[in-house]
Amino acid sequence: MKFLTEYRDPEMVVQYVKEIKAITTKPWTLMEICGGQTHSLVKNGILDMLPKLITMVHGPGCPVCVTSVSVIDEAIYLAEQPHVILCSFGDMLRVPGSKKSLLEAKAEGADIRILYSPLEAVQLAKSNPDKQVVFFAVGFETTAPANALSVVHAASLGLNNYSILASHVLVPPAMEAILGDDENTINAFLAAGHVCTIMGIDEYYPIAEKYKCPIVVTGFEPVDLLQGILMAVQQLERGEYKVENQYARSVQREGNKMAKETIQKVFTVSDRVWRGIGNIPESGYEVNEKYKNFNARVKFKINIPLAEENKECISGAIMKGLKKPKECPNFGIQCKPEHPLGAPMVSSEGACAAYYHYASADEVVLE
């Protein structure tokens, strides 16, 4: 398959590993942003192939993992209101709130539906005029266009019974928060290719310049990641700090103009609390004033206090690159996918889930 099998070519993997080893003379710490990249690195055994001087740490690149406890509580509150249908992607249902998860609320009788698209939720609202349909809009910039489009579509149909609970988070502010942390150890970033497909790469130039940190926009297959690591290490060894685009087959510098226009039509930039990290200014999207009737927080007058996170979960330290999942004393003991203490063990893109499922594998999987 074009643009897939060639990026899983074992011979190319071996060649890139050799090149990385040949040029690495100093210890470097690189962070991949996307949870999909984390899973590819762990599942394919890439972490074990790299020279010992290179440390890969795993950033807050999973929107499920960084959705705050309070937002989960908001979703549960909505689901438990009379005549409300709460719609969500499936990976949100088992994320712990302060008292329970959406899955537990569903077991108690809440009408919670798993959907694959927000446009399905719009259709559900159209088919159920006597119900209020709320879509739990979670994600990075990648899912924002479809969620925004659902609002535009519902408005055009005059559906007053549709709204979204927005929990969008933005990658560049999170990168700045990590780089600006007193405990920061990151020398270079592998930026998330799918986010850049939507937003382009211009936002990264000021970050690279301000923090003297190479940023390489990277894909998700083994060859993509190794080429991205090679490009980042080449910069570090030369003392450079540029933005480079390894994922040029999908990412254009300007991004997707139509998608960005749709986002700007419906959303405004807002502060957002990240699970395990805290409040990051201007790091999220909220429904704007024009479409406030489709903002579930406004429609239902939600006023839920900030909830404390589970003190046994070290997800914040993991997503800042300060610890690895296996350094958590609860990893694989008190915290497992079937009974997670925190979101990184729940999500299909969470670093803890990746380590739990793949890190102990003896074989490298490239097929």
With contact defined as beta carbons under 8 Å apart, do 16 and 230 qualify?
Answer: yes
Using only C-alpha atoms, what is the Rg of the chain?
21
Q: Given this model, what pLDDT does residue 361 score?
A: 42
End-to-end CA distance of the chain, in Å?
12
If you write DSSP's letter for every residue of 81-97 in order, what string do you get? STTEEEEE-GGGTTS--
Greatest C-alpha distance within the chain: 66
Q: Given this model, what pLDDT does residue 316 score?
A: 84
SS3 110: coil
Provide the pLDDT confidence category of residue 2 given band limits of 50, 70 and 90. low
130 or 363, higher pLDDT: 130
Tell me, yes or no, whether 109 lies in a domain: yes
CA 77 centroid distance within chain = 24
Q: How many CA atoms lie within 13 A of 149 on its CB side?
A: 14
Residue 147: which domain range? 64-170+255-299
Distance CA 355, CA 347 (A): 12
Give the residue among 72, 111, 33, 106 at the shortest CA–CA distance from 346: 72
Tell me, yes or no, whether 132 lies in a domain: yes
**18 has a pLDDT exceeding 90:** yes
Model pLDDT for residues 221-239, shown as the tens digit of each residue: 999 999 999 999 999 999 9
Tell me, yes or no, whether 23 lies in a domain: no
Amino acid 356 reads Y
What mean pLDDT do residues 284-311 have?
A: 92
Give the residue among 245, 246, 232, 291 at the shortest CA–CA distance from 267: 291
Q: Given this model, what pLDDT does residue 365 score?
A: 39
**301 backbone φψ class: left, alpha, beta (φ>0; ψ -120 to 50):** left
What mean pLDDT do residues 245-259 have?
A: 96
The tally of domains found in the chain comes to 1
What mean pLDDT do residues 67-82 have?
A: 95
Tell me, yes or no, whether 20 lies in a domain: no
**279 has a pLDDT exceeding 50:** yes
Model pLDDT for residues 357-366, shown as the tens digit of each residue: 887 543 333 4
Q: Given this model, what pLDDT does residue 367 score?
A: 38
Amino acid 37 reads Q
Q: Given this model, what pLDDT does residue 360 score?
A: 53
Tell me, yes or no, whether 281 lies in a domain: yes
If you write DSSP's letter for every residue of 215-246 in order, what string do you get? EEEE-SSHHHHHHHHHHHHHHHHHT---EEET
Tell me, yes or no, whether 113 lies in a domain: yes
Q: Given this model, what pLDDT does residue 363 score?
A: 35
The CATH number for 102's domain is 3.40.50.11740
Tell me, yes or no, whether 259 lies in a domain: yes
Q: Name residue, tokens 């399905």.
A: 120
Q: Given this model, what pLDDT does residue 101 score?
A: 93
What mean pLDDT do residues 1-24 have?
A: 87
Tell me, yes or no, whether 72 lies in a domain: yes
Q: Given this model, what pLDDT does residue 75 score?
A: 97
Task: Share the mean pLDDT of the chain.
Answer: 92
Q: Which two tokens stand for residue 323?
A: 């610890």
